[in-house]
Structure 1
């Protein structure tokens, strides 16, 4: 038995040495190349199968996530529709409550904004209407939806300068739109906002309340929209309340305005 085992080992060793010699001298190269092409093709085919399976699994996961997120998208769409409906309803109320030119039969003239001052100490617009169009100092200027812009402070023949509501020299009397009661004095000079001071202590004013103009001067009409009240407060040592007003329009983007020539 031992003799047979030793004989088999010698045969195996001899065969291995023969294969190594044939490989070394290149005799087996054609056979090796053929075997390699077969194995490489099998490996590539297996790799493609695995990649296809992985892509299918990934797509299934994406479809599952999309299906799970779809109800959330529908809810957001419905919420957006609700917000739009509320804004439209609010605008409808404002159009009824605020006194626009057509209701007051004001005499107005339209104008284009041709420039804006860059001096931080003076917030003003330059418009393409002037004295030849009937524009005079102190006339009131407003934008779309009856939003107050400011007042004319200087004129030339074919242009005029309009001081914005946010300018530090701007001061006007205002009302609460919800009850038409005096709400104090609105004054500019606070960046892009307006400060509301001298609010009567007994007046109930809340964040979000609409503030409109009071017709206490010859040129200022009643009911132009100033903005919304924010940061309402009162210091213990002051008799009056105070607040900030978020302007109704972005003054940096005004392109057209109307001037009230006659109330």
Structure 2
């Protein structure tokens, strides 16, 4: 396959080792600055977080730094992989964790970025009857989210972003939740990498995680023969989450909304389905 224009040395030159070093350190500093602002509630800071997640993860800067400077690839643990079937509407998995979870799989930071993040069915063509399933790795998914908002302002919004809302997690949509979840883990990995690189003074602050009182680690939406939507997921509260009621997930499809609420009581989680309701 011929090289693209930006890879041809007669058009451009490859970044030097020092330039890669500078790119990585500067991007990491910018990332933790914006992620700190986001966690402090600054308006629109998430857009900057998304843009830097694309630079570091989607564009492969972290992987380049690890390879170029022979850094230790941080160990991560991932949740269940996305589950694909002929009836799959949307499935998300392989969410990263810093410590081993129940039924988790050990991997590395670069291995996680290459792993499948989501599979979703797209419809189009005449009458919207053509269906195709797309698989995206975590690096591709983060780059795609950034192309919608953050690095770019897309004219077209993918349905999977706007129709799946995790309103119990501070009204985030699914894309926002995935960026936040991944960013919290990446921040800790960057702290290790920059410290090993001799740039401890520029290492991120390692904000505490988890961020939210409830979490979602795996999701599968599928349609049955009658075109009814079914929701399966792994999620719940964390140790230390106060007793109370939390809205865990809301999903919209075809003008209907379904979801689950969680009640935390005495250190235990109780899940309740919400009544199906019509939404505009």
Structure-2-length-normalised TM-score: 0.20
More helix by share: 1
Structure-1-length-normalised TM-score: 0.21
Structure (1 or 2) with the larger CA radius of gyration: 1
